[in-house]
Amino acid sequence: MPMRFLLALIGLAAVVVAVLLSLGLMTLKTTPGSMPSVSFNGGTAPSVNANLATVTMGTENKTIEVPTVTTTQKTITVPTVTMNKPGEPANSSATK
């Protein structure tokens, strides 16, 4: 709402200025402008000296201990969830 009011106010001001100009009740005097002059005089670019470390990539054979994992099958008791949907007999259930 405030944005519409602001745009309407700016539009109304533009119409008033246009009417005043067209009726000769307002005149605008303008003078031609010019671009500023710019000059560049010499100079040097900054210099950077960097001492970097030497990095060498490679491979090497070593003997290390690696753990081994084995699995066995056991029968254990796990929790279950039974859900009976409305309208289904109590003996047909889904287990998750």
Give the pLDDT score at 91: 64
Distance (Å, rounded) from C-alpha 7 to C-alpha 4?
Answer: 5
Give the pLDDT score at 8: 92
Cβ proximity of 28 and 18 under 8 Å: no
Mean per-residue pLDDT for 35-45? Answer: 85
Higher-pLDDT residue of 95 and 48 is 48
Rounded mean pLDDT of the chain? 85
DSSP of 32-68, one letter per residue? ---PPP-------------------------------
Distance (Å, rounded) from C-alpha 32 to C-alpha 48?
Answer: 47
Over the stretch 64-94, which tens digit does the pLDDT of each residue have?
999 999 999 999 999 998 888 777 777 654 4
| CA geometry: angle 42, 43, 46, nearest 5 deg | 155
Give the DSSP H or E segment for 83: strand 82-83
DSSP label of 34: -
Please say if the pLDDT value at position 22 is more than 80. Answer: yes
